[in-house]
Amino acid sequence: MSKIIGLTGGIGSGKTTIANHFKAAGVPVYIADDEARMIMQSAEIVAEIKNTFGQALFEKDVLNRQKLAEIVFNNPDKLKQLNAIIHPAVKNHFDNWILNYKNAPFIIYEAAILFESGSYLKCDQIITVIAPIESRIQRVIQRDGTTRENVLNRIKAQWNDEDRISKSDFVIDNVTPEITKAEVEKILKILNIQ
């Protein structure tokens, strides 16, 4: 079975950039947030979200993700409720996905809340991506068209860099594209030797 290498970091740290470097090197990459978005459109999950959070979050049966984010990132109990719906479904999806890559030496499992969700327990090694807080805030504002306050609420809902780093095997400081790419290449060499 393939080794599972967890890839995590706070919102806006640049996990997707790092994941894309691994993909470009031919490594199978599972992006948990992207898969969760797809899973959240399934009839079964939509029904659970409606039961838990109400019909008001839906417009013509389409979930308003922005409204949901505002609710859960301002209320830890609501975030737990959402995670209890989404995480088991993502876990099942990943368990099926990885069967396609049994012969790969390793795969990357990218998840923003790798530690918070407990998913790190199934990882053989972990990479944490860090970046300056202001860069992170600006990236998310530009990417999501959200407010600084919303980004800060999301940051507060996640583990801090120090806690992530203390449980990680590798750390990528995502400051410049050149340094970042060089750090990924260094990690690839180490992982391919093991």
Which tokens sit at 46?
Answer: 């939509």
Query: Which residue in 129, 142, 109 sits closest to 175, CA to CA?
Result: 129
Cβ 133 vs Cβ 141: under 8 Å = no
Query: Which residue in 117, 110, 120 sits closest to 85, CA to CA?
Result: 117
Cβ 83 vs Cβ 73: under 8 Å = no
Is residue 180 marked as binding?
no
Dist CA 143 CA 155 (whole Å) = 15
Which tokens sit at 35?
Answer: 């898969």
Is residue 122 marked as binding?
no
Neighbours of 125 (CB within 10 A): 16
Length of the chain: 194
Is residue 147 marked as binding?
no
Dist CA 43 CA 65 (whole Å) = 16
Is residue 9 marked as binding?
no
Which tokens sit at 128?
Answer: 């944490």
Is residue 8 marked as binding?
no
Binding residues, by number, are: 12-17
Binding residues for ATP, by number, are: 12-17
